[in-house]
């Protein structure tokens, strides 16, 4: 009975995605035939497009709270999710059900709900590789800086140890290591990933590009270490990739709102682009006024970094909870659009209350 339930729920979700994405698929397929590109390229594009399309009709909180628009496809997905959620209330130890819910919520761009579902799956089965990888990925998506933090990295290491050929785990672990400046480790994991996906495939070419970038970063890191050791007290003055110096201060009028344990998030995001930061860092708010340098190594995705941008908005946020998710009462400040590269540090004043 449980298997039948999953089949029905998954089929309903898939049917909804197809109803939304089928016209896009047909158009993409025709284009692929004319251009001679393999169907795999179309599918690689279709999957995120379908997810975005479904998110567009069901992603609003009011929709998931039972106030649906009059759309049969959307209503079908809401009904399927409702049935799955009701099932899990009655069977909270059903790991596969939580995994299905996590995958569905991730597909419709509800990362916090997906993270919660993967957490339930982990509570039931701490060694489940899919739950570990899903949790790590969604934890990054719920953070404004989109960093794979310590626990996410630990889970990915555990997942790769359990399943050395898990492609998602290898890719995400490489990203985590890249973010933390562990370029040699990132290179090792992406080189392990390469033969699993085919170096000549579209995705393989992306991985190859990130490998080249990581190798350049490693070379710069080694050169910096050599310069520092050969000339004590003098650090290297150059490093591959874009660098964005930032100074952050707190407006005197808000000084009384600073609390012990507050965290300071400093970030840069593309003008006119998605909210995902191109670079971000976290430090204690007690370090204010602060000076930092944002770099490509602080990107969530290597191909979405400062070097890929021409204009950015730089911001700073003080979180009372210490969590990356914005909350009422946080203190914020942002710059106007800034064209890269810059010749002097960008000055940010935290002068607003969320």
pLDDT at residue 123 is higher than 50: yes
Residue 30 and residue 106 share a domain? yes
Picking from 347, 22, 140, 136, the residue whose alpha carbon sits closest to that of residue 128 is 136
Residue 53 and residue 114 share a domain? yes
Residue 263 and residue 144 share a domain? no
Residue 251 and residue 185 share a domain? no
Residue 313 and residue 193 share a domain? no
pLDDT at residue 42 is higher than 70: no
State pLDDT tens for residues 294-312. 988 787 666 678 888 889 9
Is residue 235, in this structure, part of any structural domain at all?
Answer: no
Is residue 221, in this structure, part of any structural domain at all?
Answer: no
Residue 105 and residue 19 share a domain? yes
Residue 199 and residue 53 share a domain? yes
Is residue 273, in this structure, part of any structural domain at all?
Answer: yes
State pLDDT tens for residues 131-178. 999 999 999 888 766 778 778 989 999 999 999 999 999 999 988 888
Residue 130 and residue 87 share a domain? yes
Residue 81 and residue 185 share a domain? yes
Residue 177 and residue 265 share a domain? no
For the chain, what is the radius of gyration of the CA atoms? 22
Q: Can you give the CATH number for the domain in which 143 is found?
A: 1.25.40.10
State the residue range of the domain holding 173.
2-209
Query: What's the angle, vertex CA 230, arms to CA 225 and CA 231, rounded to 5?
Result: 100
Torsion of CA 271, 273, 279, 283, to 10 degrees: 80
**Number of folded domains in the chain?**
2
Is residue 140, in this structure, part of any structural domain at all?
Answer: yes
Residue 188 and residue 280 share a domain? no
Examine the fold and report which residue of 155, 187, 209 is the final residue of a domain before the chain moves on.
209
pLDDT at residue 48 is higher than 50: no
Is residue 254, in this structure, part of any structural domain at all?
Answer: yes
């Amino acid at each position: 009975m449980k298997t039948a339930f999953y089949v029905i729920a998954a089929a309903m979700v898939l049917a909804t995605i197809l109803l939304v994405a089928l016209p896009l698929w047909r158009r993409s397929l025709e284009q692929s035939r004319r251009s001679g590109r393999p169907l795999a390229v179309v599918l690689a594009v279709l999957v995120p497009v379908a997810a975005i399309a479904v998110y567009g009709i069901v992603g609003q909180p009011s929709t998931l709270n039972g106030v649906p628009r009059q759309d049969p496809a959307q209503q079908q997905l809401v009904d399927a999710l409702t049935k799955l959620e009701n099932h899990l209330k009655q069977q909270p130890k059903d790991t596969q059900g939580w995994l299905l819910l996590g995958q569905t919520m991730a597909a419709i761009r509800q990362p916090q709900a997906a993270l919660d579902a993967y957490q339930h799956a982990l509570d039931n089965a701490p060694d489940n590789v899919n739950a570990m990888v899903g949790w790590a990925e969604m934890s990054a998506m719920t953070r404004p800086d989109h960093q794979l933090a310590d626990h996410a990295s630990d889970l990915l290491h555990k997942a790769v140890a359990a399943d050395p050929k898990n492609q998602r785990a290898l890719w995400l672990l490489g990203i985590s290591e890249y973010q933390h400046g562990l370029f040699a480790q990132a290179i090792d994991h992406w080189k392990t990933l390469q033969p699993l996906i085919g170096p000549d495939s579209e995705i393989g070419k992306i991985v190859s590009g990130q490998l080249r970038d990581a190798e350049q970063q490693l070379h710069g890191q080694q050169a910096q270490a050599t310069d520092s050791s050969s000339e004590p007290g003098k650090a290297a003055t150059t490093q591959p990739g874009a660098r964005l110096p930032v100074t952050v201060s707190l407006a005197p009028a808000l000084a009384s709102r600073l609390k012990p344990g507050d965290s300071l998030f400093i970030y840069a995001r593309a003008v006119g682009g998605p909210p995902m930061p191109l670079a971000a860092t976290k430090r204690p708010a007690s370090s204010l006024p602060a000076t930092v340098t944002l770099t490509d190594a602080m990107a969530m995705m290597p191909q979405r970094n400062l070097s890929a941008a021409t204009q950015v908005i730089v911001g700073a946020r003080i979180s009372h909870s210490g969590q990356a998710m914005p909350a009422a009462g946080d203190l914020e400040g942002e710059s106007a659009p800034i064209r890269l590269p810059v010749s002097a540090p960008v000055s940010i004043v935290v002068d607003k209350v969320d």
